Amino acid sequence: MKAVRFDRFGGPEVLEIVDLPDPHPGPGQVRISVRAAGVNVSDWKKRQGQMDQQLPQTLGYEAAGVVDELGAGVTDVALGDRVFGFSADGAAQAELVVLSYYAPIPSSVGFAEAATLPAAVETAARALDQLGIKAGSTLLVNGASGNIGSAAVQLALARGARVIGTGSPASHDLIRSMGAEPVAYGAGMSERVRALAPEGVDRALDVAGSGVLPELIELAAGPQHVITLADFDGAQTYGVRFSRGDDGRALYVLAQIGELVESGQFALPAVQTFPLADIAEAHRAGESGRVRAKLVLLPN
């Protein structure tokens, strides 16, 4: 099968399309013929050597496609079913991939859109769980318009929370359309939040990593009420929890997100697609910071 791989760290030019042996699922796993695979910030961090140090490396943790091989004990899906999910091996950017965690793709959702879901919804649901977001909570999401931020907004609203979301003025219509209350980030953000919530907020989630942890701590009455997904150094400085996958994953959300999409409670992000062979160009687009859409590779 064709797959993305790199044998040395560096820029997008180190990415190659290579032939690798076809993978096969173990017990409880399924293999899919990949129709779409998500591209994330972690991909270029890995490529640059900021994460895993072993070489060579494949890429990709989320994919959508058609089941073409079943592992032992799998009874909840059948050959030919459309599913999306996680590759525990980080090898989803390929023609075939084994999914360790998966769920059916809603009938109204295409492969490219389904491939945008796993990482964003799991990350968002995990952070909401760690914050204890429930009906009646007031949550401030710093960076509410991005892929993970918008997932957090919508999942929190589905739980019955009130959500205030920060973003640039250009993003306010999007934030408002999701059901959240937008405020502009930057100087004076705290005052703008307090104009909406005079007593502050119950919890705050930092998705943007824009150096606002002190303001979030003040608005949420303490670092124990704040979680960041993007500011590791700030978390250490201010005593805020930095949420990561090894804290325990919220994989249950894969089975729940379809119903939220079908009921209109969760809107899918815009997508920009690239053929698998154009993986380097996809990385350049993502690293430029100018693309607001979710990047997705189309292997087949």
Spatial contact of 153 and 163, defined as CB atoms under 8 Å apart: yes
Domain 120-247 in the same topology as domain 2-116+268-298: yes
Position 137 scores a pLDDT of 97
Position 129 scores a pLDDT of 96
Tell me the residue ranges of DSSP E strands in 101-216: 101-104, 138-142, 162-167, 181-184, 203-206
| CATH of the structural domain 2-116+268-298, one choice from 3.40.50.300, 3.90.180.10, 3.30.2290.10, 3.40.50.11810 | 3.90.180.10
Which residue matches tokens 């490219």? 112
Q: Average pLDDT of 209-225? A: 95
The fraction of the chain above a pLDDT of 70, given in percent, is 100
Whole-number Å distance between alpha carbons of 149 and 141? 7
Answer positive or negative: Cα dihedral of 194, 268, 93, 70. positive
99-151, pLDDT tens digit by residue? Answer: 999 999 999 999 999 999 999 999 999 999 999 999 999 999 999 988 899 99
Give the count of beta carbons closer than 10 Å to the beta carbon of residue 287. Answer: 16
Average pLDDT, the chain: 94
Position 105 scores a pLDDT of 96
Report the top-level CATH class of 120-247.
Answer: alpha beta
pTM metric for this prediction: 0.93
Whole-number Å distance between alpha carbons of 212 and 147? 19
Tell me the residue ranges of DSSP E strands in the chain: 2-6, 16-19, 30-39, 57-58, 62-70, 82-86, 96-99, 101-104, 138-142, 162-167, 181-184, 203-206, 226-228, 241-242, 271-275, 294-298
Whole-number Å distance between alpha carbons of 119 and 7? 25
Report residue 271's pLDDT band, with 50, 70 and 90 as the boundaries.
very high
- Per domain, the residue ranges of the chain are 2-116+268-298, 120-247
155-178, pLDDT tens digit by residue? Answer: 999 999 999 999 999 999 999 999
| Amino acid at the residue 289 | G
273-286, pLDDT tens digit by residue? Answer: 999 999 999 999 98
35-87, pLDDT tens digit by residue? Answer: 999 999 889 889 999 888 899 999 999 999 999 999 999 999 999 999 999 99
